[in-house]
Structure formats: C-alpha cells, structure tokens
C-alpha cells in the first residue's frame, strides 16, 4: 500500500520552508538550514526568519556539503529532544555539525513506531510459541540496524525488547548513539564500527539470521577503512545479502532512501526482487508540513513484514 507518513513529534516542528531553505524547531531551539527540495517561496518574511532562528547554517563557498553555524546568544552547543515511541521515551542529544545535520532525522519517527510495534509483535509471538520456517521464533527478536547513525531506530528496537546490532562506519556517531541509549535509560546494544556491506557479507558466511533489518544508506559514503559506498551501484548487492540474513517468516524490513531522484516505487521493486513478495508492505514519502501547510518530502521509504 502506498502511503505518505508524517509522525506526531511534539519536540519537532517545521515552521516554514521555501527558497531552498527550511526553518525548524527542535525542542526549544530553532534552526535554519539549506533544503534543496524546498523549491517554492517562503511564507514568512526574511525578518521573521532572522528573528526566530537560534542557529543558521552558512554553507562554505568552497564546499557543497560543509559550512559553519551562526549562533544567537544563549544557543547551546548541545541539547536534548524526546520522542514518545509508543510506551517508550526516546531521548536524543542534538548538536550542530559542519555537515548541517543536528543528529536526528525527525521524519524517521514514523519508522521508529513501526519498528517498535514489530519487535513487540515478534517477542509476543515467540512467547506464545509461534513457529517460523526455521523453527521457533527467538524469545528476544534479533534486529540489525545498518548505516545506523545516532541510533533512533536502535533505541526504538531496544525499547521494544529487541536484541540490537548497530552498525555504522563512523566511530564518533556510534559514540553519539551510545549516549542516546544511556539518556533513554536503555542498555545492551551490540555496537559495530565497520563498513556495512563488509559486515553483512561476513554475517552471511556465519549463517546468522535476524528478525528485523533496518537499512538507511546514504547516497555516497566511506567505510571505516575508506571503503567507497555509492547507493545506485551497491544497493542491489546489499539487498541480496540482507535477504539471506532475514528470517523467512514473521520478520520485517525497513529501507529508507535519501538520494534525490530515487522513488519509493524503485525501492519497492528492488526489495521485492531480492526478498520476494511480502505479506504486508508500505511505501511512499516521509514528510512534514510547515505552518502554512506546504508539504516537504524528506525521503522515501519502503517497509514490509512477512
């Protein structure tokens, strides 16, 4: 089923968009950042953007990605937001990075709910004696989070009772994810600092299986040892490996795509080729609407459960 998703996230608000920028509130603080998909005009005047923004990202003229932040008085270097993921309170530290990111992608909260629900479903099925194609479902569902960044999906899966393996090639963001886990009052995640594609190849050789897999690959990236990742070139290989790692029955998958030009229909086609037709599936855009009602797409998703 094709569906547009917008999570209910009180600690986040998209205030205004347009002229290739977005004005957002994260908790108490408002940021102003570039947004290449905001092709329309802003609703609020420039004076209001300047008045509201606590931190404005200024792109470096020598770089398409890096820049610096201009801060208003009393704007902290770090602060925390909370997301109510079903019965769990996920607390995440935010910070202003040189790549314009702040540490979370709030549109992903819609997927955090899905992950939480499915980990609880699998745990309940196991305790009730449900069977999978390879035998009894594990009492603690095993979840693999690839390209896991600061761990919003990891927190959701762990809060629901999952046994989570968190994989990212950047040691600093894995440390950041550990802090988020501690702030959320959780523990017991397996942390892996490694190239995601190398890791899944090794897991296939080991014969490991997971009840849930989360894939949030960048358009381009580098592994822990300089391995090159290009989404269009390597997503097929990644999906083929993940198809061998996912339990044959009862399991779930979440795939996010942030590469402009790649639609959720493409994601659905690629996943179905690798995994086959699932029992239930959803695909579409993740988005928020600003105060004027202008809807900003912030990525595409495809997810299923068997």
CATH of span 12-305: 3.40.50.150
Tokens matching residue 32: 């102003």
Q: Name the pTM for this structure.
A: 0.93
CB within 8 A of 217, min separation 6: which ones? 146, 147, 196, 229, 231, 235, 238, 256, 257
Query: Do 166 and 121 meet the contact criterion of CB atoms below 8 Å apart?
Result: no
- Strands 29-34, 55-59: pairing kind: parallel
Query: Do 180 and 150 meet the contact criterion of CB atoms below 8 Å apart?
Result: yes
Tokens matching residue 248: 């044959």
Kind plus residue range of the DSSP H or E element containing 128: none
C-alpha closest to that of 146 among 259, 66, 246, 3: 246
Round to whole Å and give the CA distance between 65 and 261.
18
pLDDT digits (tens), the chain, 306 positions: 889 999 999 999 999 999 999 999 999 999 999 999 999 999 999 999 999 999 999 988 777 778 999 999 999 999 999 999 999 999 999 999 999 999 999 999 999 999 999 999 999 876 664 444 444 455 799 999 999 999 999 999 999 999 999 999 999 999 999 999 999 999 999 999 999 999 999 999 999 999 999 999 988 788 778 888 888 899 999 999 999 999 999 999 999 998 767 899 999 999 999 999 999 999 999 999 999 999 999 999 999 999
Round to whole Å and give the CA distance between 210 and 141.
7
Number of residues that make up the chain: 306
> What was the pLDDT predicted at 231?
87
Round to whole Å and give the CA distance between 205 and 35.
41
> What was the pLDDT predicted at 229?
83
> What was the pLDDT predicted at 138?
59
> What was the pLDDT predicted at 133?
43
Query: Do 78 and 93 meet the contact criterion of CB atoms below 8 Å apart?
Result: yes
> What was the pLDDT predicted at 253?
98
> What was the pLDDT predicted at 128?
60
Phi then psi dihedrals of residue 230, to 5 deg = -125, 115
> What was the pLDDT predicted at 139?
77
Phi then psi dihedrals of residue 172, to 5 deg = -65, -40
Residue-range domain boundaries for the chain = 12-305
């Amino acid at each position: 089923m094709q569906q547009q998703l917008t999570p209910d996230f009180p600690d986040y608000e998209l205030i205004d968009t347009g002229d290739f920028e977005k004005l957002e509130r994260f908790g108490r603080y408002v940021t102003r950042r570039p947004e290449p998909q905001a092709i329309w005009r802003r609703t609020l005047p420039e004076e209001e953007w300047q008045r509201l923004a606590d931190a404005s990202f200024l792109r470096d003229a020598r770089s398409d990605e890096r820049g610096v932040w201009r801060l208003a008085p009393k704007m902290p270097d770090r602060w925390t937001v909370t997301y109510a993921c079903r019965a769990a309170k996920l607390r995440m530290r935010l910070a202003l990075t040189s790549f314009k990111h702040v540490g979370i992608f709030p549109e992903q909260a819609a997927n955090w709910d899905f992950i939480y629900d499915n980990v609880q479903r699998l745990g309940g099925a196991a305790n009730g004696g449900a069977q999978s194609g390879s035998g009894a479902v594990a009492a603690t569902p095993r979840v693999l989070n690839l390209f896991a960044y600061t761990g919003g999906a990891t927190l959701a899966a762990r809060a629901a009772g999952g046994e989570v393996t968190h994989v990212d090639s950047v040691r600093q963001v894995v440390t950041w994810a550990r802090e988020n886990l501690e702030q959320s009052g959780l523990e017991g995640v397996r942390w892996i600092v490694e190239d995601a594609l190398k890791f899944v190849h090794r897991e296939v050789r080991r014969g490991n299986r997971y009840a849930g897999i989360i894939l949030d690959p960048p358009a381009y990236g580098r592994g822990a040892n300089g391995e090159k990742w290009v989404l269009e070139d390597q997503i097929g290989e990644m999906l083929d490996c993940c198809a061998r790692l996912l339990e044959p029955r009862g399991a779930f998958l979440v795939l996010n795509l942030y590469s402009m030009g790649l639609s959720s229909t493409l994601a659905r086609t690629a996943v179905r080729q690798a995994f086959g037709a699932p029992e239930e599936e959803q695909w579409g855009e993740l988005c928020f609407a600003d105060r004027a009602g202008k809807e900003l797409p912030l990525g595409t998703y495809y997810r299923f459960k068997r």
